[in-house]
Amino acid sequence: MKYKIVPVTPFQQNCTVMWCEKTLKAVVVDPGGDVHKIVNLLDSEKLILEKILLTHAHIDHAGGTAELASLKNVPIEGPHKDDQFWIEGLDQQSAMFGFPKVNSFTPNRWLNDGDQVTFGGVVLDVLHCPGHTPGHVVFYNADEKLAQVGDVIFQGSIGRTDFPRGNHQDLIRSIKEKLFALGDDVRFIPGHGPMSTLGAERQHNPFVADHRG
């Protein structure tokens, strides 16, 4: 599996294009906007877009979803159904944050904890990690020990929980019980900012560090 990060929107959200090297079949995780940048990467790498994956439905992660799905005629998988209200409120979100008007959509498949999504010969495990939003999911590739964690955890920080139906305790539980259980050597792509490893965050992230050892 290969991947490239395409920062999109004024929030510099890490939209991620992942693809199977054998088949060149690809997914786009969190097309928040600037769809032309995403399409340019797909074209330059000669990739066949198979589906769109969403970690959660905040505007900077989901704003370009309907446009890209329509353009490429591909299905949308994720997030968990508890984020449906965020999808239904995309209009309000775009107005609130000064984003271009976007079209709403209905995912072809809502994702649950323990599900898997596939593209080409690649399998991603789905972890439901509520807290930042109630329906937030994480995508994990065991072969590469690589996770796309959206806005659950960042290098040195964690996701905000002051949005509607955010929950700080749920977020901490998601990080400590679900993400850290994957192993210290797992690298992750956050929704914003630089990549890190779960081990580095378990040791040094002031919000979730394990100081017992």
- The answer to the question of residue 211 being in a domain is no
- The answer to the question of residue 209 being in a domain is no
For position 213, what pLDDT does the model report? Answer: 43
For position 210, what pLDDT does the model report? Answer: 78
Give residue 31's identity as a one-letter amino acid code.
P
pTM of the model: 0.97
- Cα pseudo-dihedral 49, 25, 79, 193, rounded to 10: -90
Per-residue pLDDT tens, the chain, 213 aa: give them. 999 999 999 999 999 999 999 999 999 999 999 999 999 999 999 999 999 999 999 999 999 999 999 999 999 999 999 999 999 999 999 999 999 999 999 999 999 999 999 999 999 999 999 999 999 999 999 999 999 999 999 999 999 999 999 999 999 999 999 999 999 999 999 999 999 999 999 999 999 997 654
CATH number, residue 200: 3.60.15.10
Expressed as residue numbers, the domain containing 83 is 2-204
- The answer to the question of residue 120 being in a domain is yes
Please compute, for residue 7, the number of CA atoms within 13 A of its CA located in the half-sphere on the CB side.
7
The enclosing H or E element of 150 equals strand 146-150
For position 211, what pLDDT does the model report? Answer: 63
- The answer to the question of residue 210 being in a domain is no
CB 170 within 8 A of CB 131: yes
User: What is the domain count for the chain?
Assistant: 1
Q: Name the DSSP class of 95.
A: H
- The answer to the question of residue 213 being in a domain is no
Two tokens, residue 150:
């959206």
Apex CA 204: angle with CA 200 and CA 207, to 5°? 115
- The answer to the question of residue 30 being in a domain is yes
CB 111 within 8 A of CB 77: yes
